Structure 1
Amino acid sequence: MRFHSSNEIVPNAPSSQTTASAIHARLRRDILCGALKPGERLRVNDIAQRYGGGTIPTREALSRLTAELLVVYLDQRGFAVAPLSQEGLEDLTRARVWTAEVAVREAVRNGDAAWEERVLLAYHRLSKVSRYNSEDPPVQNEAYDPLHREFHLQLFSGCGSVWMVDTCMRLFDHAQRYRSLSRQAVVMPRECEHRDLVDAILQRRAEDAVALIGEHFRLTARIVIDSQEGD
């Protein structure tokens, strides 16, 4: 609320921060799903018009995405979608494996019955949705990704550390760009990977769970790298 000099109370106008957050969310989604391509220029005026905001909140949104390493700022050239590379993918995959190993091991050790229920429910919901709307040609199912993210979030949630879960999920989001590439490159059944992971976790087989989630991440990287080498 804000006050006029006449003491009349009127609603606040939408703040630039609110607009910036809305633009940030839409831009972030479009970068992660591949609608905005690696290296694509992000001209402030074009983005403001496309996403329905002024230049000030648009710059704020782009600055936030730069801090998240999803956008880069190039001197004299402005903003662009962060590039993808084999080196970057390999580095990201190593970081994901390292952090997931700690989170999963701790979750298996410390997770309670409520955590097990969350994992089962997230897996059940995920298992009901296909990765693709069409396999030939491959058309990804947009409904799959939020459920996939929730599944991994619940796996990590039993570790007992908010910081560790946040780190794992930030890396998960960055990997989304590569997952989209892997699904375009090869259509293959991977549902058993999640099922086997859930079985190991619920049976408290920590070493098996750690090995399975590491291989789960590495397979995506191999699919992307092999597809690029074949081009």
Structure 2
Amino acid sequence: MTQNSADDGSKQTTTSLIAAELRIAIQQGELRPGERLKIDHLKKRFETAVNPVREALNRLVAEGMVDLADHKGFSVATISLEAWRDLLEARCLIESGALRKSILNPTEEWRDEIVVSLHRLLRTPRFHDDERAVMNPEWERIHHWFHRSLLARCGSEVVLSMCDDLRLRSDRYRVIARRARHARTSYNEEHALIADLAIKGDAERAVDELVKHYRATLGEVEMYFKSAS
């Protein structure tokens, strides 16, 4: 490995670590919607150079987590109920088709992956505290794994990439949903039901339950925005 390639690899690792930490801070609400993200401040926070910080922020812009405006720089992307409804409709539309195709094209390895990811998801606490104030990053990682496993046999890497992007954009709103009054606690049962239907090959019911699962979160986010207005 040349010195240049080693430096590039180190910078990429630093960029990924910064992006991951900022992503969590935005999802958890530590960094608020509209808050300015000053490169000099972040450079000091992460004890690194300007380029990895800028590249991390540009990566989050591509994910819809950060906005970039002329003469204003980077800021945490704003949120709205209208944007969330639009995002959820896109997820329902795209993931419904992907899940249906995945179920109609099964393998034993695919079924095993769903079982293993669900098992890990059910055994991992969603929150770090009883007040449901601090999300568990490990639960988030496994949650993504589980949902991607369901869609893995859809036959299109482009579709899977789109689903990954929409899921990342949705994470901020799922954090909001947990703050709603009477936020539901049935997500384990919902995940287990979707997995069971997928493994059994019941594509239409699995799709129906997936959409219902997402729309339940929509309802909680709507409650949050109404209570905050």
> TM-score, normalising length from structure 2?
0.89
Cα displacement string for residues 120-149 of structure 1 (whole angstroms, at most 9, x for unaligned residues): 010011111222333346443333111111
Instruction: Please give the alpha-carbon distance, in whole angstroms, between the structure 2 residues aligned to 1:44 and 1:72.
Output: 14
SS in structure 1 at match of 2:48:
coil
Deviates more, 1:133-142 or 1:99-108: 133-142
**Greater fraction helix:** 2
**Contact residue 63 and residue 168 of structure 2 kept, 8 A:** no
The aligned counterpart of 1:198 is 195
Do structure 1's residue 40 and structure 2's residue 35 form an aligned pair?
yes
| Cα offset, 1:13, TM superposition | 4.6
> Contact 2:15 / 2:55 at 8 angstroms: preserved in 1?
yes
Residues 47-126 of structure 1: matches in 2 within 5 Å? 47-126=42-121
Q: How does 1:1-231 map to 2 (within 5 A)?
A: 1-2=1-2, 12-13=6-7, 16-136=11-131, 138-185=133-180, 186-190=182-186, 191-231=188-228
TM value normalised by structure 1: 0.88
Structure 1 pair 18–123 and aligned structure 2 pair: CA distance change class (3 A): closer
Change (3 A) 1:193 1:66: same
1:182/1:162 Cα in 2 relative to 1: closer, same or farther (>3 Å)? same
Distance 2:18 2:75 in 1: 15
Percent of matched pairs sharing the same residue:
33
CA distance in 2, matches of 1:129, 1:17: 30
SS of the aligned residue for 1:79 comes to strand
Letter in 2 for 1:32: Q
State which drifts further: 168-177 or 70-79: 70-79
Please report how far the alpha carbon of residue 227 of structure 1 lies from its aligned counterpart in structure 2 after TM superposition.
1.6
For 1:113 and 1:95, locate their aligned partners in 2 and report how far apart those are by CA, in whole Å.
Answer: 29
Amino acid aligned to 2:154: C
Q: Is the 8 A contact 1:45 1:55 kept in 2?
A: yes
Cα root mean square deviation, aligned = 2.1
- Structure 2: which 5+ residue stretches go unaligned? none
- Greater Cα radius of gyration, structure 1 or 2: 1
Q: Alignment partner of 1:73: what SS?
A: strand
Give the 3-state SS of the residue equivalent to 1:131 in structure 2.
coil
Gaps of 5+ in 1: 4-9
Deviation at 1:160, TM superposition (A): 1.8
